[in-house]
Amino acid sequence: MGLDDAILIRTSNTLKYEDNRVLMLDRRQFPEREVWQRYSTYEEVASAIEDMVIQGAGSVAFAACFGLALAAHCYSSLDEAEFEKNLVKAAGRLKATRPTSEYMIPLVDKMFQVAVEAHAKGPDPAEAVVRKTEQLMDDDDQLTLKCGLHASHLIDDGDGILTHCYPGGALLYMLDYARQQGKQVRVYCSETRPYLQGARLTAASVHKLGIPATIVTDNMGAFLMAQGKIQKFITACDRITMDGHIANKVGTYQYAICANYHRVPFIVLGYDGPQTNTLSAGDVEIEERNPEEVLYCRGVRTGAPGVEGYYPAFDITPPTLIGAIVTDRGVFSPLEIGRAYKHRFSR
């Protein structure tokens, strides 16, 4: 087993645009089954994103762009004003699916402009959107690799690494590079209720990499740290603010508090860094999902009849609890990352 076996490492392995259909590997059924779902309208893509068919900030963003391509294809015969009017509606619907994701909203806006410009020049603007999105997916894989490489230098031989949710391809690249550097590690994957991304996605991917993976329940992290089993706490994030806060799967904040108490470094895989329009934690909209979702686990009701649920999908961790944020550019202090990325779009 090795890196080539880790199917989730590249977005192109799980998301495709073919024959005016968007194809998604259904992460709700992975790893027991590798099932591809097919969608022919932007509304179907939006619903799939909301229903957690596809997960992860980058993957969700690219899926939304492909959804916009479907809309562009559908409305391509309309005149310029009507085309733009309908595409605005489609873009708004897609951007509303995951409001905490910092990457998706500006990317969909960018693809909107690509579609409008292409519509003025040719018969099918969808092709331009798809071509640009696929290019960005390739670029994303390269920055993911670089992020993982930089992070690997923060790993020590013998480390026990606690993860939460699915940190994406950068985690797998990090682990593979650390192994090439002669380091042996074990990864403890929190199960991540209610969708079990840690148990199903992270653990399966790490195992396919040939690195020991242990699934733990979401309430074991502090005890593992107290036992000395954890030397690093590592997650990705869905948003980084310019002042160094991060928004990630709910539960990250409490793990960060535990890590700080036990003097376990918290390392964030920040991929391409913060967006300059997210200045502070107050600029982050926390997605609140259907409360019913926490009353079930993989279709089986676990909550007592009559009780209520509550499901904020993300929480915010302050920079004082974060040891380092790693991006494709290198390793940064959370208190300095805003300064480092002040002119991020001039690179």
Q: Which amino acid is present at 45?
A: V
Alpha-carbon distance values, 216 to 4, 201, 222, 303, 314 (Å): 26, 14, 11, 21, 20
- Catalytic status, residue 238: yes
Within 13 Å and on the Cβ side, how many CA atoms surround 254?
A: 13
Give residues with Cβ within 8 angstroms of 285, minimum separation 6. Answer: 99, 100
Which of 141, 238, 272, 328 is the catalytic position?
A: 238
Q: Is 106 in contact with 88 (CB distance < 8 Å)? A: no
Report how far residue 195's alpha carbon sits from residue 294's, in angstroms, rounded to the nearest whole number: 9
Report how far residue 259's alpha carbon sits from residue 256's, in angstroms, rounded to the nearest whole number: 5
Report how far residue 267's alpha carbon sits from residue 234's, in angstroms, rounded to the nearest whole number: 5
Catalytic residues: 238
